[in-house]
């Protein structure tokens, strides 16, 4: 397992995104994300999450601007609440989640009537259990690397629902309905072309300031 995860790290610089949806005009969108953590999590996890999310969203021409808790959200933004303690400690106790689970068990986004609202939460405790058997025995730098990458992929799933304004999932990729630990820590797990088209066709979506 250590060798496989080390290989994942080595592939970071060479992994690429698929489904460029070249037929659509490339108009960059900036999305401000207000991150609210209920418990502290390591800067290494946070930095890896940000880098991986940038990589996932780049084919859809979406740029993330991160807001601190003290900053105003009086412009286009979304709110993300991290529930629980985000991070798998070394030799973690507890019961691992085996197999694929619904993405909704890891995170969810608010819905009002037919609108997907810009307010999401991520359940770190469930994510911990899903990743437990894959990374608990690894050195801290590998655990942080893999966990940050997994968090980014979970968050990208919710951003897809918000910007594409759909509750429908794709058959493959980050926007699919169920995910496994292998999906979240693999060297390459991206949006498929269907999801990228949905994201790049989101002109009709106007994100207002998320309400608590």
Sign of CA dihedral 194, 198, 200, 201: positive
- pLDDT mean over 74-84: 83
As a 3-state breakdown, the chain gives helix, strand, coil percent values, each rounded to 5, of 40, 20, 40
- pLDDT score recorded for residue 18: 39
- pLDDT score recorded for residue 40: 86
- pLDDT mean over 128-150: 96
Q: Taking 70 as the threshold, does the pLDDT of residue 26 lie above it?
A: no
Q: To the nearest whole percent, how much of the chain has pLDDT over 70?
A: 78
- pLDDT score recorded for residue 154: 98
- pLDDT score recorded for residue 116: 93
Q: How confident is the model at residue 5 (pLDDT cuts 50, 70, 90)?
A: very low
Measure Cα distances from 121 to 5, 68, 72, 118 in Å.
Answer: 27, 16, 19, 10
Q: Which residues contact 112 (CB under 8 A, 6 or more apart)?
A: none
Task: Tell me how far apart the terminal alpha carbons of the chain are, to the nearest angstrom.
Answer: 41
- pLDDT score recorded for residue 136: 92
Helical H runs in 58-139? Answer: 103-106, 124-135
Cβ–Cβ < 8 Å for 200, 183: no
- pLDDT mean over 76-84: 91
Q: How confident is the model at residue 201 (pLDDT cuts 50, 70, 90)?
A: confident
Which strand ranges, in their side-by-side order, compose the sheet holding 115-123? 62-67, 29-37, 77-83, 115-123, 107-112
45-57 per-position pLDDT tens digit:
999 999 999 999 9
- pLDDT mean over 54-66: 94
Q: Taking 60 as the threshold, does the pLDDT of residue 9 lie above it?
A: no
- pLDDT mean over 93-114: 92
Q: Taking 50 as the threshold, does the pLDDT of residue 98 lie above it?
A: yes
**Mean pLDDT value across the chain:** 83
Q: Taking 80 as the threshold, does the pLDDT of residue 137 lie above it?
A: yes
Q: Taking 90 as the threshold, does the pLDDT of residue 209 lie above it?
A: no
User: Which of 120, 117, 119, 110 shows the shortest CA–CA distance to 205?
Assistant: 117
Distance CA 206, CA 17 (A): 26
Q: How is residue 101 annotated by DSSP?
A: E
Write the CATH number of the domain with boundaries 28-200: 3.40.390
């Amino acid at each position: 397992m250590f060798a496989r995860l080390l290989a994942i790290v080595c592939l970071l610089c060479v992994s690429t995104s698929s489904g460029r949806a070249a037929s659509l005009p490339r108009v960059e969108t900036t999305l401000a994300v207000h991150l609210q953590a209920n418990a502290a999590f390591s800067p290494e996890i946070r930095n890896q999450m940000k880098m991986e999310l940038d990589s996932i969203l780049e084919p859809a021409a979406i740029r993330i601007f991160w807001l601190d808790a003290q900053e105003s959200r009086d412009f286009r933004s979304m709110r993300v609440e991290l529930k629980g303690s985000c991070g798998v400690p070394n030799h973690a106790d507890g019961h691992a989640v085996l197999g694929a689970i619904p993405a909704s068990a890891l995170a969810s986004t608010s819905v009002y009537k037919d609108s997907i609202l810009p307010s999401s939460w991520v359940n770190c405790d469930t994510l911990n259990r899903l990743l437990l058997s894959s990374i608990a025995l690894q050195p801290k730098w590998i655990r942080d690397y893999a966990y940050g990458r997994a968090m980014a992929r979970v968050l990208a799933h919710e951003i897809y629902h918000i910007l594409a304004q759909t509750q429908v999932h794709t058959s493959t990729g980050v926007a699919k309905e169920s995910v496994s630990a292998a999906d979240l820590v693999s060297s390459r797990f991206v949006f498929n072309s269907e999801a990228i088209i949905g994201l790049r066709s989101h002109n009709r979506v106007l994100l207002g300031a998320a309400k608590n």
